[in-house]
Amino acid sequence: MAMEVSNKENEEQIGTEVTPNYRNFPMVPRVIFGNGCFNQLGEILLPKRKSVEAPIIFLIDDVFEGTSLISRVPLFPNDQIIFISAEEEPKTDQVDILVKQVRSEFKELPLGIVGIGGGTLLDLAKAVAIMLNNKGKSEEYQGWDLVKKPSIYHVGIPTISGTGAEVSRTTVLLGPEKKLGINSDYTTFDQVILDPDLTKGVPKEQWFYTGMDCYIHCVESLNGTFLNAFSQSYGEKALELCKDVFLEDLEESESRDKLMMASWHGGMSIAYSQVGVAHAMSYGLSYLLGVRHGIGNCLVFQYLEEFYPEGVALFNKMIEKHNISLPKGVCSDLTDSDFDIMINVALSLEPLWENALGAEWEKHISPEKLKSIYQKI
């Protein structure tokens, strides 16, 4: 996630002084937090139900199919649940198919889209909400501020913590040519429901890898050249929460609460700064090999001690404490042209490198360097 343009990117001359053109970015306008607050979804949606014909569409991770959570979804007769597998990263094609399906089944535009799941489901919900009100294919909107019309009302309900997708103004999609976010003021959710109870039962490795996405957001934001007091204030809090969750022995419910808020603060931190080396290289892994975002970040981050020495040392302690063994040999069978594909994807993410290494980042990194890191993975 988090493919924001730096607030330092554009500068304009005012009088004799050069002042940065600060980014005016949207935040989630409504959020509810607390164990069991999912039960308030019905009353939250009620004021939006202005037509009896138009549905609310619930996009839900298919791991919840047949579970008690589904019976708690406040369905009206015309509403629809669409179960979606989060086994793979969200794709532009997948968004286009979902939009076509919804348009063909209902005469009226839906009243809202509700995404329930991890980063994949949240990103799909954001993208579908945008594309229901915009023409063409979703790949045409991958980039910065290309969305023309407001999205329809959309709600995000995370069931795993760490990606920060619940707060970000992007939805990262794998397209035919690139893995890139639809970054826009219309991407951000209108409502988020943070119910830590929903994260009960997440498999341990998935919990760890997704939590490390948040931890790496903090490290990359706090060690970046784009850092400012806004980002720092959120990043430091998120880092403190991550340390509590992954290095202390907390009660399970306290751990769930804290990781959910770490994800939120980590997302807020990168909203006004940027991620860095691990994310850039992880995008390459994901593009070529379909490696999931959280684990991809971990696979790269373990070898980034020269960029983030303290961050990697702490990461190793977390890995050890939770007995996580990262896969090995992921890149061992790759050809030179495979490496080139990953390197090109990684290096194309210029704002990430500029944040990590400064304006003259190209002098400090080379394709050979990236290849040597990928070869270790």
3-state per-residue secondary structure call for 68-93: HHHHCCCCCCCCEEEEECCCCCCEHH
> Within the chain, where are the H helices?
41-45, 68-71, 92-105, 119-131, 204-222, 229-247, 252-271, 277-289, 293-301, 309-321, 336-347, 350-357, 367-376
Whichever of 4 and 213 has its CB closer to Fe ion, that residue is 213
User: Tokens 């607390």 correspond to what residue?
Assistant: 34
The first and second tokens of residue 367, run together, are: 């394709």
The answer to the question of residue 1 lying near Fe ion (CB under 5 A) is yes
Task: Give the whole-angstrom CA distance, residue 14 versus residue 368.
Answer: 42
Q: Report the nearest approach of Fe ion to the CB of residue 217 (Å).
A: 6
Whichever of 61 and 213 has its CB closer to Fe ion, that residue is 213
Q: Report the nearest approach of Fe ion to the CB of residue 346 (Å).
A: 14
Whichever of 79 and 213 has its CB closer to Fe ion, that residue is 213
Binding pattern for the stretch 192-221 against Fe ion, x by CB under 5 A and - elsewhere? ---------------------x--------
The answer to the question of residue 300 lying near Fe ion (CB under 5 A) is no
Whichever of 179 and 256 has its CB closer to Fe ion, that residue is 179
Which CA distances in Å does 49 have to 42, 43, 58, 115, 335? 10, 10, 14, 17, 54
User: Tokens 């390459």 correspond to what residue?
Assistant: 284
Q: Report the nearest approach of Fe ion to the CB of residue 278 (Å).
A: 9
Q: How many CA atoms lie within 13 A of 193 on its CB side?
A: 25
Q: Report the nearest approach of Fe ion to the CB of residue 190 (Å).
A: 22
Task: Give the whole-angstrom CA distance, residue 115 versus residue 48.
Answer: 16
Q: Report the nearest approach of Fe ion to the CB of residue 2 (Å).
A: 6
User: Tokens 């691990």 correspond to what residue?
Assistant: 278
Whichever of 40 and 206 has its CB closer to Fe ion, that residue is 206
Select the span of 1-9, 68-76, 347-355, 369-377 touching Fe ion (CB under 5 A): 1-9
The answer to the question of residue 167 lying near Fe ion (CB under 5 A) is no
Binding pattern for the stretch 9-48 against Fe ion, x by CB under 5 A and - elsewhere? ----------------------------------------
Residues that bind Fe ion (CB under 5 A): 1, 213
